[in-house]
Structure 1
Amino acid sequence: MTSNDNLPLSEQAFLARTPDDAVLVRVAVKGSILGVQLEPKAMRDNMHELAQRIMACADVAYLQGQVALRQQMEHAQLDPVCYADFPTERDLAAARDRLRNL
C-alpha cells in the first residue's frame, strides 16, 4: 500500500506491518527505510525475533515498491530486459508469507 497514490511513483512510500500490528515499517520506493513503528506488544519479543519482524516488514514494503516499478515498466511496454532483474509478484508473495509466519 502506498502512502499517497497521487504522488509520482518515485516519491511514494510503501508500508508493511506484522499481522498483529505490533511492527510497522515504511520504505521509499528507492529502498530507504523512512520509519519504523513499534507498538508496546512488539517489545515482548526477544531482540532477535524483533529484528526478524522489522526486517520482514522492510522486505515486504521494499518489494511492494519494486513490483510497482516493474508494473509501471511493463505497462509502458519497455523492453523486458529493462526490468528482468526486478522482483516479481511471486517474490513479493514469498516475502508476505514469511512475514505472516513469523
Structure 2
Amino acid sequence: GDGDGDGDGDGDGGREAAAAVSIGVRPTFTETRLGLLVEAFLLDFDGDLYGRELRLSFVRRLRGEERFDGAGALVEQMRADVEDVRSAVGVVWAPGAPVGRRAE
C-alpha cells in the first residue's frame, strides 16, 4: 500500500545512500487521486537529481500515508521519518562527505 519507508538510493555515479521514500498521492496537498508519486529523500545529500534515473531498494515500511493539517505538521513528521530511517539502517554520515561514505 501507499506510505513511507526506508531504503537505499543509487543515482550519484553508482554510489548508494540511505533514503526516506514516500509512495502515494500527497493527500495533504491534493484533493483528487491523480496516481502514485514516488519521492525519495536521500539522507545527507546535497545536489540536484531532478531528471536523473535512480534505482531504489526498499528495506522496510515505516508507516502508511497520512493527510496532515498543513505543511508544518507534514515537515515535522518527515523529520521524524528521517530519524527513523537513520536508526533503521544504522547509518551516520559525515557532514559534507560524498554520498555513500560513512563517518569514521
Q: How does the TM-score come out when normalised to structure 2? A: 0.32
Q: Is the helix fraction higher in 1 or 2?
A: 1
Of Structure 1 and Structure 2, which has the larger fraction of its residues in strand?
A: 2
